[in-house]
Amino acid sequence: MKKYDVCVIKGDGIGPEIIEEAIKVLDAVSHKFNFELNFDYRLMGGAAIDIMGVPLPDETLNAAKSSDAVLFGAIGGAKWDGLPRELRPESGLLKIRKELGAFANLRPAIIFDELINASTLKPEIIKGVDIMVVRELTGGIYFGQPRVKNEKDALNTMCYNVSEIERVAKVAFEAALLRNKKITLVDKANVLETSQLWREVVSELAGNYEGINLEFMYVDNAAMQLVRAPAQFDVILTENLFGDILSDEASMICGSIGLLPSASIGGKVGIYEPIHGSAPDIAGQGIANPIATILSAAMMLKYAFGENEAAEAIELAVRGVLRDGYRTKDIAQYDAKEICSTVEIGSIIADYAAKA
C-alpha cells in the first residue's frame, strides 16, 4: 500500500470547517483505491499568531518541507489587520510558498452545467468555459525589493529574471499540451519592462512546443475579454499580480468563489488550497461551501501523488452531487433540491466518491 504524508494547515475563519470535509472525502477515496494518507496538523496564519506569536512557525515550515504535500484552508481576518506587515497572517502564506519553491499557481475556472445560472453572465456566453490560469507565484511585485512606506510616499518593486519566467512558462506549455494547445500570455508590455521580458522569454520558449497557439493580450483587455467572451481562453499565463486579480475574476464567472480549487506547484512540495479567503463573517455557522477545498484535495491526489483514479472519483462525485441538486447556502438559489450544511454536503460527496 502506498503511503503519503500530508501537512494539513486548517488556518483561520472557515478554514477548519472546509478542511475537515476535504479530509473526510480523502479518507473515502484512500480506502477505495488502497493507499494511505498520514495527516500532520500544523498552525499558520492568525491561529499561529495567537498561540505562537508568528504567522509561520518554524515547526510548521519544517513539517511542510518534510511532507509530500500541503493541504491548506484559508487564513486572515480583521482581528489581525492592525499588525505590522511581517506579522500579518498573509505573510505566513507568502513565506511558505517561497520556502517550498511553489512558483506556479494553477487555478482552473470551470463552468458546471448544473450551475450555469449562478453566473452573472448569460448562459450562452459561459457555457463550456474551461480555463486554466497559470500564475507565477513567488516573484514580481509581491516579493520585490526595495519596498518602502513612510509618511510621504511608498515604493514597491516589480522584478523578474529569465529563469523565473522560463520555469512557470514551461508549466503553462505542458498544461496546454494536455488541453486545447492555446496559451494567452497576459501582460502590460506597452508600459512595463518586466512584461517586455516576459514576451521575449515566452516567445522563444514557444519554439520548443510544436502546435501550441501562443497569443499576447494586455491585462486590461484580458480583464474585459474574460467577461465579454471567456470561452476564447484556454490557458492564461501571467505574472503574480495580474494572475491574482484575473483568477479571482475568472472564479466569479463560474458563479461562486466557493467552487474553485488551486494547486501551487514547482518545488518538491506543493500547496493545495481553495482560492477563496477565510470568510470570518460566516465561520462557525456551518454554511461554508467546502467544494473548492475538496477539489483542491483532488488536485493534490493528481499532481502530488499521481493517484489519478482517486482524483477523478472526487471530481465525478462533486459533479454528481451538483447534478442531484445538493447545494450549500451560497448556491442554494440555483436548482436546489436540498440545502445542505458544510458537514452534510461533505458527507454526501464522500459517499458519492466512495461509490464512483
Q: How many residues does the chain have?
A: 356
Is 220 one of the catalytic residues?
yes
Is 98 one of the catalytic residues?
no
| Grid coordinates given for 201 | 522569454
Asked if residue 238 lies in contact with residue 199, where contact means CB atoms within 8 angstroms, the answer is: no
Helix (H, G, I), strand (E, B) or coil at 246: helix
The Cα–Cα gap between 249 and 167 comes to 25
The Cα–Cα gap between 208 and 188 comes to 24
Sign, CA dihedral 318-319-325-331, equals positive
The Cα–Cα gap between 152 and 165 comes to 34
Asked if residue 30 lies in contact with residue 313, where contact means CB atoms within 8 angstroms, the answer is: no
Q: Is the peptide bond before 146 cis (omega within 30 degrees of 0)?
A: yes
Please pick, among 4, 10, 24, 142, the residue that the annotation labels catalytic.
Answer: 142
Please pick, among 12, 187, 244, 330, the residue that the annotation labels catalytic.
Answer: 244
Asked if residue 99 lies in contact with residue 61, where contact means CB atoms within 8 angstroms, the answer is: yes
Is 187 one of the catalytic residues?
no
SS3 of 282-315: CCCCCCCCCHHHHHHHHHHHHHCCCCHHHHHHHH
Q: Which residues contact 292 (CB under 8 A, 6 or more apart)?
A: 18, 257, 258, 259, 260, 261, 274, 275, 276
Is 244 one of the catalytic residues?
yes
Is 188 one of the catalytic residues?
yes
Asked if residue 72 lies in contact with residue 273, where contact means CB atoms within 8 angstroms, the answer is: yes
Asked if residue 186 lies in contact with residue 222, where contact means CB atoms within 8 angstroms, the answer is: yes
Please pick, among 50, 113, 220, 324, the residue that the annotation labels catalytic.
Answer: 220
- Determine if residue 238 is left, alpha or beta; phi over 0 gives left, psi from -120 to 50 gives alpha, anything else beta: beta
Question: Would you please indicate which residues are annotated as catalytic (active-site) residues?
Answer: 142, 188, 220, 244, 248
